[in-house]
Each structure stands twice: as structure tokens, then as C-alpha cells.
Structure 1
């Protein structure tokens, strides 16, 4: 069964913005890519800026859904690591949505609103709650959870950007190097965990999902 028109418009808009930039995003180009009329954009989204907003909201919702689907185990640090792995996997699987989600104002006439930032913060709050579990369990030193979350957020996004740019390819990193696990382990140690405990958590088998 084919995807409905709104879904195809979202995917096409994300791809055009990611690959070709704002100049490529026109109602005429979208209609041609999706095989529909230019009126479909206005019918389903109201305007091009509203379509961009919908792309961003959809992307954050997809990330949040994947993170919320993860099981909770008796190891809060391992659970935090798994959320980071899933975030990286999302960035790899949905590169166009991910680019638009974090590209600021990718279209003339579109500005991030407080509501847009609130939608984005939902995914960040999932990480914040996971970090608070680590603090309460005594694995991380007492700290403001939001501050620690933003440190991790910066680290993860830096890693994702470097990977996407090719800086973790064979010319820079030996094949098979577990660079994500190494970064996560060192982050946990920096947050107050012991090297032994962090190493055990990062090596813990990934939990099965329903």
C-alpha cells in the first residue's frame, strides 16, 4: 500500500532541504517529486513554512517513539547508553529528517517558535530522565540533570556530525573501532561513574524489544 500524500510530502521536503537546500523547496518541485498538485501542500499543511515545521515535529516524534519503546533494566547507565545508540541509529536511518530537525531556520519565512523548541525538548527530556536515574542510583555524581544532559547532547551530536562527514571512516579510524562505546564509557566516567562499572554497562548485551 502506497504512503499517503502528506507522508510523501514530508519525506520529499526533508530530502530536498537536506540534499539541495532551501532554494529547492518550492510547491512546484514538491508536487513533481510526489506526483500530486501544488495545491496539496496548502491543503495538507497550509504553507511551506508550516510544512517545514511538520517535518521537524515528525522527526522529533519518531525519535521519541523509538526511545520510549526501549525497556527499562536494572542498569540505568546501560539504559542511557542504549538511548544514545538508538539516537545514532535514527540519524543513520533518517538522515534527511535529522538534518532538518537541527538546521535552525532552513526556509525563508520559517522561524523556530517556542512550541517547536518544546517539541524538540521532549526527546531531550527522555535523556534527562535517564540521566537522573543514573544520579539517583549513585552511578553519576550529584549534579543538575539538565546540565549533564546537555553535555551528552553536545557529545552525541558532535559524534553524529563527524560520522556523517566521514571522519570515522577507515582513513581516520581503524575498521571495527567502537568509537561510540568508547565515547559513552568516557562520558559516564566523567559524570562520576567508575571505569569498571561504565565498561561493564557499555558491554552489556542490548535488550530485546517487543
Structure 2
């Protein structure tokens, strides 16, 4: 044990910190939030338990770092969706598909990020810190909503208001799908998410044909990428 601690002391701090976050992400993905324990994570990282306390204060601090990692990944996913097409309607539906895909690949992480699962017996060490990173992901959505507004496609002139409605719509769909409520749908995106998103855009003033075409274009690109 002493030898391992000596190794920890001589390792680069950034490298050790990232290794612990990697280990925590892996334990969360494979075993769920109940196993997010200092001993379990430090063993996975090949470190001592004291290293967790040194870098994060406690396991709550480490969980905050996991949440930050999750939001960074989600932000990248949304940015890729925004870059996939010049049409803001296509961008927004591509973001919905990206967020859904992220949640499906990382169900425990998604739940932890949005407070849908407990952190075991641990409390967040700084509840407002993850909110900052949520805002970075959310800002990608707001920018595409701003493009929708400046293009004159909707009646609402506040992109933040549009983004809040769309985020709520997608988050609700993702959460219900994860809970198995759409298990009887052969394609929940086609039968639930797409029509709901189109109806939302039409409800704030977009043309139905254009909104539908944007959803179909994004869905076709997503399907082709999934097949590849």
C-alpha cells in the first residue's frame, strides 16, 4: 500500500485526477450509483483512498467532477449537432437526437447529471458548480434557437424561452423512454419525439412543412450515422 501511495505522490496531479474521474465514470456505468464508493473507485484507478480525498476532498467532490465530465461530453454532442446543418430547425432536432443518444449510452451518468438518481449517501460538495457546466451545454441550444428567431421563422423573439421549452420537451421524452414507457413503440423517435418536436415548433409559429422537413433531414442523417 505504501508503494502505491508513493507512486500517487510522484504522479502528475492532473493525470492522477483524470485517472480517478475515468475510474468513477467506469464504476458508475458498470455498477450504478450505489457503488460510487471511495474504495471501489480508488481500486479501479490503481490509487490509494487518500488520493481521492487529496484531489476532491471527498467522494461528493469526485461525483461533481464526474458530472462536469458528463456535461462536457454532452456539450460536444450538441455542438456536433449544431454543425451538422445550416438550418436551425435541423440543428435543433439533431440536438434532440444527440441528447437522446447520450442518455442511452450513459444512463447512470445522465441520471446523475440531472438529479434523477441518488448519489448514494453523499451530497454534492458544490451544487452550483455543475449548473455552470449545464449552462455551457444549454448555450449551444440557445444559439440555434437564436438563429431560428433571426430567420423570422417563429413568433417568439426570446431564444431562451424557446430553448427552455425544447429542453423540457426532450428531457421529458428521454426520461420517459428510459423508464420504459415507450417500450410498445417500434420507433419512439418517429412516433413520439419527432411529431412532438414538430408540433412544438409549429406552436411557436414555424411552418409545418418546413419543421417536418427539418426533423426528417436530421433523422435521416442520424440514422445513416448509426448504421455506419
Query: How does the TM-score come out when normalised to structure 2?
Result: 0.77
Superposed CA RMSD: 2.7
> CA contact under 8 A between 2:60 and 2:124: conserved in structure 1?
yes
In 2, the alpha carbon distance for the partners of 1:10 and 1:135 equals 41
Give ranges in structure 1 of 5+ residues lacking alignment. Answer: none
- State yes or no: 1:97 paired with 2:109: yes
More helix by share: 2
> CA contact under 8 A between 1:12 and 1:34: conserved in structure 2?
no
Shift of 1:56: 0.7
Partner of 1:50: 61
> CA contact under 8 A between 1:139 and 1:192: conserved in structure 2?
yes
Deviations 1:32-83 (A, max 9, x none): 4555432332344332111011011000000111222332533111111111
Partner of 1:61: 72
* CA 12–203 in structure 1, closer or farther in 2 if over 3 Å, else same: closer
For residues 111-190 of structure 1, what are the structure 2 equivalents within 5 Å? Answer: 111-170=125-184, 173=185, 175-177=186-188, 178=190, 179-190=192-203
Deviations 1:91-130 (A, max 9, x none): 1111121111011773534254333211111111110111
Partner of 1:202: 215
Shift of 1:90: 0.5
Which residue, 89, 99, 114 being the options, matches 1:87?
99
Shift of 1:176: 3.0
Deviations 1:154-185 (A, max 9, x none): 11111011100111112xx3x13512212221
1:69 aligned counterpart, secondary structure: helix
Shift of 1:142: 2.8
CA radius of gyration, larger in: 2
Shift of 1:206: 2.0
Query: How does the TM-score come out when normalised to structure 1?
Result: 0.83
> CA contact under 8 A between 2:23 and 2:45: conserved in structure 1?
yes
> CA contact under 8 A between 1:9 and 1:41: conserved in structure 2?
no
* CA 7–28 in structure 1, closer or farther in 2 if over 3 Å, else same: closer
> CA contact under 8 A between 2:149 and 2:156: conserved in structure 1?
yes
1:125 aligned counterpart, secondary structure: helix
Aligned length: 201
> CA contact under 8 A between 2:85 and 2:91: conserved in structure 1?
yes
Give ranges in structure 2 of 5+ residues lacking alignment. Answer: 1-17
